[in-house]
Structure 1
Amino acid sequence: MKMTIVTDAHGNVLGAVQGHNLSETRDGVEATVSFAPGHSTHMIEVDDDLCAIDDVDEFQQRLRRHLQQHQQQP
């Protein structure tokens, strides 16, 4: 599953959204998600079962693990 993970300037995970599209147009209105300077977005593939996790700590832990794996790739 595609997911966009947002981190702050220190690499802390702030949140995540499913997919890689941070804008949408509907009925002639466009909405775009943007972040403060120093924040980064990481568009990565994660396990499909990640969206079914109810435990916040486990979700954060899995996000960090995927992000670390993604950053280690050449």
Structure 2
Amino acid sequence: MKMTIVTDSNGNVLGAIQGHALSETRDGVEATVSFAPGHSTHMIEVDDDLATVDDVDEFQARLRKHLQQHQQQHQQQQP
């Protein structure tokens, strides 16, 4: 499943949005999600069952795990 994870300038996870689209238009109305300066968005793939996790601590721990894996892969790809 695609998720966009939002972090602050210190790398703390602030939240997540299912999917990679931060804007949508319906019936002529457009809505866009934006974040304050210093915040970062990370578009990653996560386990499909993450959408069903009800425990906040577990959800955030799994988000952090996926984010760390994503960042490690991204660093390895840098020249």
TM range (shorter): over 0.9
Matched, 1:28 2:25: no
1:49-72 deviation digits (Å, cap 9, x = unpaired): 100100000000000000000000
Match of 1:58 in 2: 58
Matched, 1:2 2:2: yes
Letter matched to residue 72 of structure 1: Q
The SS at the match of 1:34 is coil
Root mean square deviation, CA, Å: 0.4
Could you tell me the TM-score, scaled by structure 2's length? Answer: 0.92
Matched, 1:42 2:42: yes
List gaps (5 residues or longer) in structure 1: none
Sequence identity (%): 86
Give the whole-Å Cα distance in 1 for the aligned partners of 2:25 and 2:60: 30
The SS at the match of 2:69 is helix
Match of 1:72 in 2: 72
Could you tell me the TM-score, scaled by structure 1's length? Answer: 0.98
- List, as ranges, runs of 4+ consecutive aligned residues in structure 1 with deviation greater than 4 Å: none
Give the whole-Å Cα distance in 2 for the aligned partners of 1:20 and 1:35: 14
Deviation, structure 1 residue 20? 0.1
